[in-house]
Structures are given as structure tokens and as C-alpha cells.
Structure 1
């Protein structure tokens, strides 16, 4: 499963160890949902300024958010692309992740892993608009993080 990682920011250091862990988390999330081996996900790290631009452009909301997902599988299949399955992009604000890690009392790596799983689940069609959907999504997030060896309870309100 190709996971492409792009770091488009310089404000928060991103070590190769973190990238490797996040690739493992994405692979675990996709594997838990029987996604084909040729599925591709892009993981993009940005700063708050860049995330603010994306949030305004695509959601009409001023200011940064922690994670945005851009699914590629929402429309009809394009001819000639049967060999590849481009799931989409998960964009994480590393500055927001750093603040939230401190606020929630867990590590930066744990927060970025959580945001990555959250974004991947959105690519797979999960949402949290209703209480039932939110509970299903939170259970999936915890299960995936636990199976990827990042167990520990997350206390989050979204």
C-alpha cells in the first residue's frame, strides 16, 4: 500500500521515525477495512497558515483545523485507472497537532497518529455528524491505534 508523505512545513520537526510510524498506522487502517494492496494515500504535513487557506477554500471556515481529508473515491471511476486506487489526501497541521498534544496530555506522536487515522477513516467514508456515527468512528480510531501498537485511551471531543 503506497503511502506518500510530504512535509510542506518547517515549523515543527518531522523525524523519519515519526513518518515510519504514520505509514504503519495508515497501512493498519487500510488493512482493517480490506482495502486492496494497490490503494494509495498521501499524507501531507502543513503549518497553520497553509491549513487556514485550505480550511477557508474548501470549508468556508476561517482559521486552521487539525486535519482535512480529500477523498478521491467519491465520484465515478475514471477509465484507465482501474489498476490504481487513489484514496486521497490526509492533510495534518503539525502546529495544531503540537498544541493539541499538550492540551490533551499525550505525546505529539500520539496526536499526529490519531489525526492521521481520523483523516484516513474520512477517506474510507466514516463521519461524525451523528452521535452513532461519532461513536463508530471513535471505536475504529482506538482499535486501529491499538493494533498499530499505540494503545492508550484518547480523551477527545469532536
Structure 2
């Protein structure tokens, strides 16, 4: 597994422990879904302004969001050759993660971990476009986070 971390914001310091937890989450999601771990993954940390711009550009939604997922495991990219297969890109607004952690009453670290876990399932093809799909995705997210003892405070 190769991680490419890109911290493009200057509002929130990221501790080494959080990077380690994120790596644990990525590996646990892959294991939970029966994938090998010979992938590249890019995880970028941005502020609300940048994620707003990305959300508008790629999804046509003119507002900030908490996390964006850009999967590479799709038919659209099947002709692209990589030394290692890329899972895709995750972009997290740390500013929004902090706001949501306060709103939901749990730690900033737990919120970032949830967002990465959530995004990982998007990279693997899951979505929350129906009630049934939302329920399935939430169950998977909670199973992974519970196994890693990342719980709501």
C-alpha cells in the first residue's frame, strides 16, 4: 500500500497519530471487502474554500462539502496502466470536519476517520443514493470503525 498525503490547507495541524489511523482505516476497509493492499491512494487535506471549488467543478454543487471521492476502479479507466493500481483520490475538508465534530459532539479525529472510511467505500463502488444503499454503507462503515475502536466520544 502506498499513501500519498497532500496537506493543502494551513488552518489545522495534522498529528502523526491521525495519519496512522487513516492508514489503518484504508487497510481495514480493503480487508473487510476482500481486496489486496497493493494499491496507491491519494488523500488530500484542504479547507472549505478549496473543497467548495472542487465540488462545484466536479459535481456541479455550489457549496462546500466535507469529503469528495474520485474513484479510479471503474470501467472508464480500464485502459490506463499503473505500476501499482490506484484506488483513487480522497479530498477531505479539515475545516468542515472540525465544524462537524463540534456539531455532532465527538472528536475531530473521529470525524476525519469517519470521512475517510466513508470515502473509501465510495472508491470501492458503494453509494448512498437509496435508503437500502445508505443502510448497507453505514453498516460497513460502522463495522470498520468499531473494529478499529474508533467510536463516537
- Indicate conservation of the 8 Å contact 1:3/1:26, yes or no: no
Q: Distance in 2 between matches of 1:66 and 1:28?
A: 22
- The runs of at least 4 consecutive aligned structure 1 residues that moved more than 6 Å come to none
Aligned mates of 1:5, 1:34 — CA distance in 2: 24
Partner of 2:57: 57
Alpha-carbon distance change, 114 to 78 in structure 1, aligned in 2, over 3 angstroms:
same
* C-alpha RMSD of the superposition: 1.4
Tell whether the 8 Å contact from 1:69 to 1:90 is kept in structure 2 after alignment.
yes
Q: Closer, same or farther in 2 for the Cα pair 1:37/1:101, shift >3 Å?
A: same
1:156 counterpart residue number: none
TM-score (norm 2): 0.93
Match of 1:25 in 2: 25
Structure 2 gaps, min length 5:
none
Name the structure 2 match of 1:38. Answer: 38
Change (3 A) 1:80 1:94: closer
Give the match for residue 127 of structure 1.
Answer: 127
**How far did 1:80 drift?**
4.0
CA deviations on 1:110-151 (whole Å, 9 max, x unpaired) are 000000000010000000000000000000000010112213
Q: Structure 1 residue 23: deviation in Å?
A: 1.0
The aligned counterpart of 2:138 is 138
Aligned residue for 2:107? 107
Name structure 1 gaps, 5 residues minimum.
154-158
- Give me the whole-angstrom Cα distance separating, in 1, the residues matched to 2:53 and 2:62: 8
The separation in 2 between residues aligned to 1:109 and 1:13, in whole angstroms, is: 11
Equivalent in the alignment of 2:6: 6
TM-score (norm 1): 0.91
Q: CA deviation at 1:41?
A: 1.4
2:25, 2:113 within 8 Å by CA — same for their partners in 1?
A: yes
Q: Alignment length, in residue pairs?
A: 152
Please state which structure has a larger fraction of its residues in helix. Answer: 2
2:71 corresponds to which residue? Answer: 71
Q: Is residue 101–residue 108 contact of structure 2 (8 Å, CA) maintained in 1? A: yes
Distance in 1 (CA, whole Å) between partners of 2:50 and 2:60 is: 14
